[in-house]
Structure 1
Amino acid sequence: MQAMDVMTREVTTVGPQTTVQDAQRVITARAVAALPVVDADGQLVGIVGEGDLLRDQVPPDPRLHLGRDVASPRPRPRVVADVMTTPVRTVGHHDDLSDVATLLVEGRLRSVPVMANGAMVGILGRRDLLGTLIRTDESVRAEVLDLLERYTGERDTFDVEVLSGATTVARTRGTPAVSPATEHRALDSLARTVPGVRAVVVRSSDDLPHREEAS
């Protein structure tokens, strides 16, 4: 699977001059881990997360410090530009999801913007990745079957079985338009693009008649 297969496409953003308080409201209302920061031209210039928006925002309780010298609190950050992280770690929309998972875990990142041709096209977080691990076998099966039928234009032709994400695909009728080896590779590649598919086995169709590919 690639980043674009599971990323969130509708991205909530803020600007550098958005107040910290407004950003706190947005990130809470949207229940997201981070907000990309874009300038007036829509260009990605930073990212602000929950931790950034908490920085220097919670004053100490004076009742716990009576009779002690307490340093004066630092001025609170006023706008997002004061607390955002820049430069931003990003991934490409065709990046392997396995590599993205490694980046999020080893980089201790909650989410990363997804880029295509220099523009942000989505955002991908740990929650998106976890979502691919908890899909039901039936929902995975239905999506794989729909994908195969739409790609080949053939209905009631393939049998798909899914058990704990392990997916088996087999042609049950019809004549392959290409060689069995070519169809095998195509079915395997297509099935692996579906979130929740952990392994793929394509049953051989060598015993089915097929038309030779044009040279």
Structure 2
Amino acid sequence: MTKPAESIHPGATLEDAIAKLGRARISALPVVDRDRRVVGIISEGDVLRQRLPADPRAHMIPSAPTSAGEPSIEAVMTADPQCATPRQDCSEVAFTLARRGWKSMPVVDDDGRLLGMVSRSDFLRALAQPDAVLSTAVHNAFTQAGHPEWRAVVHHGHVTVSPHAGDQDGAAVATAATVAGIRSVELGARRWAAQGARRPPWGP
């Protein structure tokens, strides 16, 4: 996720939201209360629906007077938005974004307080990590799990765990699967050079 996340308060104006969205080049702003709990979200679409009246020159219609009032964020936002949690499976969040057509989603703690934002571009950046970077991340995950002797090879984001962990092969596969950007993990006896795979930087 991206953190810290830009946010806005319910009592702010639409102009405030436009300025923040444009300056930060983001597609949505979580709306938070005084305790940083997420109470809503305002997106580019919400702004455009409010701020783009029809052009009378293009449609040959008389110009309608515009309202002098400026709606508050609370009047325009989507209340009680769906949020993600830090421990939630990335695949679930990515599926929700794709299914709902959303570009991003707030990430909150157990009390609903804003921690960050996760977006489709965050997932794409993770998937685009070079194999060498992912290989190092997998090795670091093995080391943190207390097994620096475990071995794996990464090829185009897909991991093959060397079947030398004995009765802990399953644990090695599960550990590798926790690394962000890994697309799949399998247990196999492939040689490191198979399919042009990169030799791991931490050993044979």
TM-score range, shorter chain: 0.7 to 0.9
> Aligned match of 1:202 in 170, 187, 192?
187
Residue identity matched to 1:25: A
Q: What TM-score comes out, normalization by structure 1 length?
A: 0.76
Q: Could you tell me how far 1:75 is from its partner in structure 2? A: 5.4
Q: Kindly, what percent of the aligned residue pairs are identical?
A: 30
Q: Could you tell me how far 1:36 is from its partner in structure 2? A: 0.6
| Contact 2:131/2:155, CA 8 A, preserved across alignment | yes
Q: Could you tell me how far 1:69 is from its partner in structure 2? A: 3.3
| Contact 1:56/1:76, CA 8 A, preserved across alignment | no
Q: What TM-score comes out, normalization by structure 2 length?
A: 0.80
Question: Map of 1:1-215 to 2, 5 A cutoff?
Answer: 7-64=1-58, 68-74=61-67, 77-118=70-111, 119-152=113-146, 154=148, 157-170=149-162, 180-181=166-167, 183-203=168-188
| Contact 1:77/1:83, CA 8 A, preserved across alignment | no
Q: Could you tell me how far 1:144 is from its partner in structure 2? A: 0.7
| Contact 1:35/1:48, CA 8 A, preserved across alignment | yes
Secondary structure of 1:145 counterpart:
helix
Matched residue count: 188
* Residue 192 (structure 2) aligns with: none
Q: Could you tell me how far 1:86 is from its partner in structure 2? A: 0.8
Residue identity matched to 1:194: V
1:14-58 CA-to-partner distances (Å, cap 9, x unmatched) read: 101222112211112212221110112222110111111222213
Q: Could you tell me how far 1:59 is from its partner in structure 2? A: 3.9
- Structure 2 residue runs of 5 or longer lacking an equivalent are 190-204
Looking at structure 2, the residues matched to 106 and 201 of structure 1 have their Cα atoms a distance apart, in angstroms, of 27
Secondary structure of 1:56 counterpart:
helix
Looking at structure 1, the residues matched to 125 and 48 of structure 2 have their Cα atoms a distance apart, in angstroms, of 27
Looking at structure 1, the residues matched to 71 and 48 of structure 2 have their Cα atoms a distance apart, in angstroms, of 12
Residue identity matched to 2:175: L
Looking at structure 1, the residues matched to 59 and 29 of structure 2 have their Cα atoms a distance apart, in angstroms, of 35
Larger Rg: 1
Secondary structure of 2:74 counterpart:
helix
